[in-house]
Amino acid sequence: MTYEPPVTDYDYIVENCTCAFCGCNCDDLDFLVKNGHVVAVRHACRLGASKVMEDLDQRIMVPMVRNEEGVLTEVSWDEALDTAAKYIAESIRPVFYGWSETSTECMKEGLELGEYIGAVLDNQATICHGPSLQAMQNAGYPIQTLGEVKNRADVIVYSGSNAMNSHPRHLARWAAFPRGYFRQRGRFDRTVITMDPKFSDTAKCSDMWVGFEQNGDYGFYNAIRAVIKGKKLQSESVSGIPAEDIYEIVETMKNAEFGTLFFGLGLTHTLGKQRNIDIAIKMIQDLNAMSKWGLTPMRGHFNVNGFNIFMAFETGWAFGVDFCRGYGRYMLGETNTIDLLVREEPDCFLVIAADPGAHFPNGANQHLANIPVIQIDIHWGPSTELADVVLPGSFISVECGGTSYRMDGVPIWMKKAIDKPETCRDDEWIVREIKERVFKLREEPNVAPKYVPNPGLGLLEKGD
């Protein structure tokens, strides 16, 4: 890295903006604005700053539809919205995927449309913390807020998460370094343990690194649970970790005044999937018999938790909700985007504020090449290469206000700082327009046929 002088050439500063990058939702950012563009960001990490100071070369500025030669071509907003609405109205198994980088207000419009048309609504949790949500249903959710961590926690465990790379301010603002009410000396009052097969950047600034072997998470946590319960380990090492190290880790964890486990995708993407999280949650429950412990999943996008909270509140399920039968259904491995795409079920795919082109495995994305894809986004990304209709949205927290939920479930209002480009529209407006156009094209909502009880039961009651 070369030295960069501070930016002094700006028109005005917008203070206390919220970062729209990761689940930390840092709300202390200052944007330096010049000629209607953010030219510098104060207090943000490298990721947040780079997101706010976007690459304008690749900003999607105009609505586009593919022409016969397969080249995206600029069209009017009316034509683009009509084309999108037509694809949705004519489909029988649409999937609305994304939502994690847009506002909760926009999700409301999307849910209304999804319920009406009988779509599957899913978000990025399906490829990141889906197993964590299943594990919460299995084992519970002993959570605390990040403020509690800052003021109280003296033992911090990162498991399968490289916070220094994916949530760079997490250690600085909440977990390891800040001085809190009961932790006046900041980093010196805290013990940081990182559990990761990789000697990651987070491990490098931790007090203890536990490099268990690949796919060894489940065995390792089971060993910790056994030791917490006072059992003696029968083998010399578990998942590549010597027994005496496990005893030492357990001793540190048991003696914590307030401990917190932050877990990331290292646990959810390996073979154990939700069972890894199950066992981690149970470990926290066991630790609570002798100390005070909580956990928080390290959510990736700024509002990925928002969609899960919103959907759980509205429909009862956090993600992967299928309305095709006229009522909500949720079945793991059946109504989730990856499984649907691998089975080649969807016939229309709406992607809003997400990038399946960049983050879905090849085997799932192959089906996107067979079906119409509608994209609502701010940047030209891998998904644009597969999209048939492209609608330019606006940037929540910079060009448009909105509500989002932090990784610990605290809702935060993200205010607007600058005006959006004239040719772009708010995500909420775009989804509402599509919804109203679909309502005109398909007059009847997708509702289940009226429930008719088994006529045989009636006969039994009469005693015939």
Partner 1 sequence: MHYANSYLEKPVVGDPNVAPRAETIKVLKCMLNTGSDIYQGACKKRGSTLKEEYKNASGTAYMDPRDMAKLGVENWDHVLVKTDYGEVVVNAARSRDAPHEGTIFICKGPWANTVVSHETYCCSDPTYKGIHATVEKTDREVLLMADLMRWVYKKYVDEEDDDVVESMESFGERPFYNGRKWEELEDHDI
Smaller CB distance to partner 1: residue 66 or 415? 66
Binds partner 1 (CB under 8 A): choice among 361, 445, 448, 458? 361
- Told to check if 199 binds partner 1 by CB under 8 A, we report yes
**What are residue 74's DSSP bridge partners?**
64
Binds partner 1 (CB under 8 A): choice among 79, 147, 186, 215? 215
- Told to check if 35 binds partner 1 by CB under 8 A, we report yes
Report how many residues bind partner 1 under the rule CB under 8 A.
94
- Told to check if 297 binds partner 1 by CB under 8 A, we report no
Please list every residue from 43 through 102 that binds partner 1, using CB under 8 A.
Answer: 46-47, 49-51, 53-62, 64, 66-67, 70-74
CB 397 within 8 A of CB 429: no
Smaller CB distance to partner 1: residue 276 or 435? 276
Neighbours of 461 (CB within 10 A): 7
Please list every residue from 258 through 277 that binds partner 1, using CB under 8 A.
Answer: 265-266, 268-271, 273-274
- Told to check if 423 binds partner 1 by CB under 8 A, we report yes
- Told to check if 257 binds partner 1 by CB under 8 A, we report no
- Told to check if 16 binds partner 1 by CB under 8 A, we report no
Smaller CB distance to partner 1: residue 155 or 390? 390
Tokens (6 digits) for 83: 């084309």
Distance of CA 400 to the CA centre of its chain: 20
SS3 (DSSP) at 293: strand
- Told to check if 206 binds partner 1 by CB under 8 A, we report no
Smaller CB distance to partner 1: residue 226 or 332? 332
Instruction: Provide DSSP, 419-459.
Output: PPPTT---HHHHHHHHHHHHHHH--S---PPPP---HHHHH
> Smallest Cα–Cα separation from 272: which of 356, 209, 212, 338?
212
Binds partner 1 (CB under 8 A): choice among 421, 439, 442, 446? 421
Please list every residue from 137 through 196 that binds partner 1, using CB under 8 A.
Answer: 162, 164-166, 168
- Told to check if 219 binds partner 1 by CB under 8 A, we report no
- Told to check if 110 binds partner 1 by CB under 8 A, we report no
Minimum distance of partner 1 from residue 382's CB (angstroms) = 5
Measure Cα distances from 190 to 145, 148, 150 in Å. 17, 14, 10
Residues 6+ apart with CB under 8 A from 251: none
Please list every residue from 225 through 244 that binds partner 1, using CB under 8 A.
Answer: none
> Smallest Cα–Cα separation from 245: which of 295, 191, 195, 171?
195
Q: What's the one-letter identity of residue 197? A: P
- Told to check if 456 binds partner 1 by CB under 8 A, we report no
Please list every residue from 381 through 410 that binds partner 1, using CB under 8 A.
Answer: 381-382, 384-386
Between CA 300 and CA 331 the distance in angstroms is: 23
Smaller CB distance to partner 1: residue 130 or 294? 130
Q: What length does the chain have?
A: 464
CB 136 within 8 A of CB 319: no
Binds partner 1 (CB under 8 A): choice among 170, 379, 416, 435? 379
- Told to check if 345 binds partner 1 by CB under 8 A, we report no
Binds partner 1 (CB under 8 A): choice among 214, 325, 410, 440? 214
CB 269 within 8 A of CB 117: no
Smaller CB distance to partner 1: residue 224 or 424? 424
Minimum distance of partner 1 from residue 257's CB (angstroms) = 31
Between CA 395 and CA 420 the distance in angstroms is: 8
Backbone angles phi, psi at 326, to 5 degrees: 95, -5
Q: Is 36 left (phi over 0), alpha (psi -120 to 50) or beta?
A: left
